[in-house]
Structure 1
Amino acid sequence: MIKIIPVSSKKELTAFIDFPHDLYKNDPNYVPELFIAQRDLLTKHPFLKHNSLQSYLAYQDNKIVGRITAILNNHHNEFNKANDGFFGFFDAINSQEVADALFKTAIEWLKDKKVATIIGPVNFSTNEPSGLLIVGFDSPPVMQMTYNYPYYADLIEKQGLKKKVDLIAYKFGDEGYNERSFKLLDALQERLKRSNITIRKLNMKNFKQEAIALHEVYNSAWDSNTGFVPLTDEEFFYLANDLKLVVDPDFCSIAEHEGKVVGFSLTVPNINEILIKIKRGRLLPTGIFKLLLGKKKIKGIRIYALGVIEGYRKRGIEAVLYGNVIKEYKIKGLKYAEAGWILEDNDMMNKALLDINGDPYKTYRLYEKAI
């Protein structure tokens, strides 16, 4: 018999966060999330001030066998003029009975909130880790990307959920850029300069002001993407302060037109190379040293966000932003870069990545169902 309980105590929250560590203990590609980061996400994130959620644990024979979170994102519904609910943080043993019980409970909670559709997985929105991995199980995820067993797709699809949209991640290896590409990049940058468009690096000494300008671009550049939700000031600065701890300004470029920020790329070291070695996501007693000492040994990066506002697209800014990242990572002698995720219907971005030899090596899927 499956028993579902709502997460309401610190002990239950700890069990909720720790369950994947046990589920994936024999999977070499699993990367444990930092416990403190997951705890704060579920209890302190600014998202919680204007939205609501309820997490659940599934028990069988007094053992945890699954988890799920039902999410009501009021900001999403207001911005998209929708009536959607979401699910996230879904993990379960390979049991349809367990998955059925978890989804039944989550859907009942969402129905009580009078929503018409369930969408997911998202943790909490498409601004956070999103999508179910359906292609590319042979390597660990990079920073802030999801990972799951292949059988999850069957468990979800047997709930009657159908594909909403796929999200593509591209990989670049050592051979991904060549001298000819560098020359074309320089020529493109010169052409932009003639239109008074310049590309510069992020100024860490003026981080707060930079973040204010990037926030405006972020909410504008992605506003037409499927499922996009603008970040509030508080949410954006929560994200920015987290990324500030790991960001390398050499990999972060800002496009300006006569002093106005019109686009940017934000690239971060793939700290999952370190987190994969930190047992159960605990920084103490030894995890903190692995994190601090391992940062200089990271061999890959993730292009976390790249966008250009309406009116400045298709001028080559996107290509220059991507090109500068790849050029910098080759200069630094890194081994790989991931750009993702990109919506499958974002033809311009997908073409730009394919044109610079990006390999679409992982695919993630968002599902939906009327309830």
Structure 2
Amino acid sequence: MKSIVAVSSKKQLATFIDFPHELYKSDPNYVPELFIAQKDLLTTHPFHKHSSLQCFLLYDDKQVIGRIAAILNNSHNEMNKVNDGFFGFFDCINDQSAANLLFDTASQWLKDKGVTGKVIGPTNFSTNESCGLLIQGFDMPPVVMMPYNASYYPGLLEGWGLRKQVDLIAWSFTGENYDDRSVKLMDRLEERLQRNDITIRKINMKNFKQEADSLREVYNKAWDKNLGFVPLNDEEFDYQAKDLKLVLDADFCLVAEKDGKLVGFGAAIPDMNQIQIKIKKGRLFPTGIFKLLFGKKKVKGIRILLLGVVDGYRKMGIEACIYGKIIKAYRAKGMEYAEASWTLEHNDLVNNAIIAIKGDPYKKYRIYEREI
């Protein structure tokens, strides 16, 4: 008999975090999330100071067969002047009745919180964090900080009545699709930018705090027109910047400046999932920490996870130039691949810049919605 339990104890939270390990134990492309990071996200992240969530576990007798989190993001609703709710951390066996029970429960929790608009997801907690359901590209592991799910998931969401809100594209770069023409294009773009007194430089890691303060301002301005965007407050941005600094390589973090003022930036990080995939159940202790520390030098790919240019400086080639310089740097380091992820399907400006340097749209993710 199926039953839903609202997560309220440390033991239940650990079960909630660990459930995907059992679900995907036979899937070679599954990458376990680090337990300590997931626990932190669900309990102490700055998000919890202004918004709320409730995790649920679905049991069939004593066996866990699904999980979901109902998420009330007050910042999103205030920013976009809506009254919507979200769901995230969704995992379930291939059983429509089980999925329906999870979605019904999350939806009811949101209604009880006063939500009257749409239920949207999956997002963990917003588009600033991991979001989207994989709908294309199931044949390889995800890169760092990107979601992964079984190919039957879209059917479960659509079976409950969820429909597409927007698709997110992940772009692949390999040695074969980054050629001399792409390099020449980037060089010409940079020369044109310099004639307009716009320079592109590496981030100053020795002055990271001051750089991060400027990046936060650009981030919130550059993404403010994106669908579903929620600006990060100071504490949230610092939280994310602190984590990224641990793996950041200055060659992969570039800023565009005009008269000493930041007008754009792009950042990539090593694809630590190459190591994380080998860490059983996402536990760093006793041996996982050594795999993480000593495996970093063996990583052969990167994820370009941030690119933004403030309004007034778009359509000048800054986007393509930053992408190109990051790709050029990863090639110089002997790496084998890069993924740029993600971009909105209708963001023609950025998508065309990626196409110009021969990015391949090889994976697709979808955010769904339904009237609550």
**Class of the TM-score when normalised by the shorter of the 2 chains:** over 0.9
1:360 match: secondary structure = strand
Spell out, residue by residue over 1:335-361, the C-alpha distance to the aligned partner (whole angstroms, 9 max, x if none): 000001100010111111112111101
Normalising by structure 2, report the TM-score: 0.99
The residue type equivalent to 1:191 in the other structure is R
Cα distance in 2, alignment partners of residues 331 and 104 from structure 1: 51
Aligned match of 1:133: 134
Aligned match of 1:282: 283
- Asked whether the 8 Å contact 2:222–2:310 carries over to 1, the reply is yes
Cα distance in 2, alignment partners of residues 131 and 146 from structure 1: 7
Query: How far off is 1:190 after superposition?
Result: 1.6
Taking the TM superposition and a 5 Å limit, the aligned residue runs for 1:123-272 are 123-272=124-273
The residue type equivalent to 1:176 in the other structure is N
Identity of matched residues, %: 66
Cα distance in 2, alignment partners of residues 120 and 181 from structure 1: 36
Cα distance in 2, alignment partners of residues 11 and 106 from structure 1: 21
Spell out, residue by residue over 1:22-45, the C-alpha distance to the aligned partner (whole angstroms, 9 max, x if none): 000000000000000000000000
Cα distance in 1, alignment partners of residues 108 and 182 from structure 2: 54
Query: How far off is 1:180 after superposition?
Result: 3.1
Spell out, residue by residue over 1:53-107, the C-alpha distance to the aligned partner (whole angstroms, 9 max, x if none): 0000000021000000000000000001111100000000111111111111101
Aligned match of 1:73: 73
The residue type equivalent to 2:284 in the other structure is L
Cα distance in 2, alignment partners of residues 184 and 131 from structure 1: 32
- Contiguous gaps of at least 5 residues in structure 1: none
Query: How far off is 1:265 after superposition?
Result: 0.3
The residue type equivalent to 1:320 in the other structure is C
- Asked whether the 8 Å contact 2:320–2:356 carries over to 1, the reply is no
Question: What is the root-mean-square deviation of aligned Cα atoms in Å?
Answer: 0.7
Spell out, residue by residue over 1:99-148, the C-alpha distance to the aligned partner (whole angstroms, 9 max, x if none): 11111110100001121210000000000000000000000000110000
- Contiguous gaps of at least 5 residues in structure 2: none
1:357 match: secondary structure = coil
The residue type equivalent to 1:6 in the other structure is A
1:333 match: secondary structure = coil
Cα distance in 2, alignment partners of residues 205 and 175 from structure 1: 35
Query: How far off is 1:179 after superposition?
Result: 2.5
- Asked whether the 8 Å contact 2:173–2:358 carries over to 1, the reply is yes
Aligned match of 1:12: 12
The residue type equivalent to 2:4 in the other structure is I
1:180 match: secondary structure = helix
Cα distance in 2, alignment partners of residues 135 and 156 from structure 1: 15
The residue type equivalent to 1:78 in the other structure is E
The residue type equivalent to 2:120 in the other structure is I
1:166 match: secondary structure = strand
Aligned match of 2:358: 357
The residue type equivalent to 1:50 in the other structure is H
The residue type equivalent to 1:165 in the other structure is V
The residue type equivalent to 1:333 in the other structure is G
Spell out, residue by residue over 1:198-224, the C-alpha distance to the aligned partner (whole angstroms, 9 max, x if none): 000011100100000000000000100
Query: How far off is 1:181 after superposition?
Result: 2.4
2:123 match: secondary structure = coil
Aligned match of 1:56: 56
1:71 match: secondary structure = strand
Report the more deviating stretch, 272-281 or 182-191: 182-191
Cα distance in 1, alignment partners of residues 185 and 360 from structure 2: 20
- Asked whether the 8 Å contact 2:270–2:302 carries over to 1, the reply is yes
The residue type equivalent to 1:121 in the other structure is P
Cα distance in 2, alignment partners of residues 121 and 315 from structure 1: 34
Cα distance in 2, alignment partners of residues 107 and 180 from structure 1: 51
Aligned match of 1:31: 31
- Asked whether the 8 Å contact 2:182–2:356 carries over to 1, the reply is no
Spell out, residue by residue over 1:218-250, the C-alpha distance to the aligned partner (whole angstroms, 9 max, x if none): 000010011100001100000000111111111
Cα distance in 1, alignment partners of residues 354 and 2 from structure 2: 46
Matched length: 371
